[in-house]
Structure 1
Amino acid sequence: MQTIPFFNLSLTLIPLLIVWYYYHKWTNDKYEILISTIRMVFQLLLIGYFLILLFEKKDNFIGLLIILFMVSVSTWIALRNTQDRSIKHYSFIFISIGISGLIHLVLIVGFVLDLEEFYEPRFVIPIAGMIFANTMNALSIAIERYEKEISRDVIFEKAREIAFKACMIPQINSLLAVGLVSLPGMMTGQILSGVDPLIAVRYQIMIMTMVISSAGISTMVYFLLKKVKAEL
């Protein structure tokens, strides 16, 4: 695959600067996009070097720590957009993301891909990242919408229904648009690297079903925990 020179890569900042200017002008927040972008660059550079070392040394214990770290960080990011930031609420989100993520990770790595070794860093780490990021985003939307509905004195069942539908909108839209409007990142990357498009399609189907089901299961687990708490 062709390497992107750093100067060429920096050209992508031009439209981002335009977005930053209007975001600052309209929201009076000049730091959020800048800090997020700087963090993104440093985090990706660090993880790039880290993955090189990780792929060379297969250590199951390190792999487990990385997965726990992913769940913990995704939980914290989801929690920061909620009104209830208690330890108990953190545990609800952690359990929801963890259960959904591990179900899909085991299913894909152990059965769909049928790898010779369960912990193959080149497969496990990127797939785990996609799963946990997706569940984090879906759950963030669900919780934010649920809390708004509850603040308007909507009953639990109705608030749950509205929140569940809201968090599934991006997932369902992605299913409807794939292949017609968009070629998703994993499929595009594989095609650019020379993989047969029909093989890339199989991988993308795996990812798309994982995306919608991991989002749904994490949200279902979260609201089941909320209901159990309310009944105690």
Structure 2
Amino acid sequence: MLELAALVVVLRGSRAEQRVGLLYAFAAYVRDRTSSFPPPVRFKRRAPVMRGLFQGKAVSFQLPPSPQIGNRGLILPLMALTQQLARVSPRYLEQCRAAAMSSPDGDPQWDPPSDDTLDLDWAIWELLWFYRRMQPDADQIHVLQRAIHGDPDGNVDFLDHPEVYDGFDAPPAVLRPPAVSQVARDLATIELAPLFERLPAYREVGGFSGFIEDPRQYLVDHFILLQDFYSTASEREMAVVTWID
């Protein structure tokens, strides 16, 4: 318990992708202490479930009978942190701003339609780690980072509220419609095939160690979702809000 408390303190002072690495390290520590740790959901392995509290929320995680599972998913079933996006109109953002200003607790009444939201799981984070290790100078890194992190000057502080996200990571950020159009164009130029040529070398140095199957389809499927999401947002002249939850 003391180790987990220390981890929370460190995580709250770290950036999003640093936190994922710290979570991995903590999971490895737990693995070494318990000789077991939780697998990704898609392994579908039946196992006992432990429950507890994290930042006041109930969490649960599986303890599989074998420790032979790699990085991805070590903490995912425990923390359930994934990359989230929402397409919203500038008018909707202003409505949320007005709601926050008039609410006693600053609640922006954030509730975008489900058809305009996207859960990217960990796919784009995994893709970024892949690029950084095998093609660290690739322009695609900046494009993907912007697509999931937004712009720093979005002025959406009113979305920093527990009804919008759980507060574990940085507050939501936004890309305004002109920026969304640029990101959509940039995403449309990305071809993953050249990167996948480096997949065997990446796996030799420990990349995708948590994947039993070939990770390409998982990455491609979520990348296409990201491309389509931004393409639609651009066509509809919408903003994109990004956060981790």
Q: Which has the higher helix share?
A: 1
- In the superposition, the TM-score normalised over structure 2's length comes to 0.34
By percentage of residues, which structure has more strand? Answer: 2
Task: Report the TM-score when normalising by structure 1.
Answer: 0.35
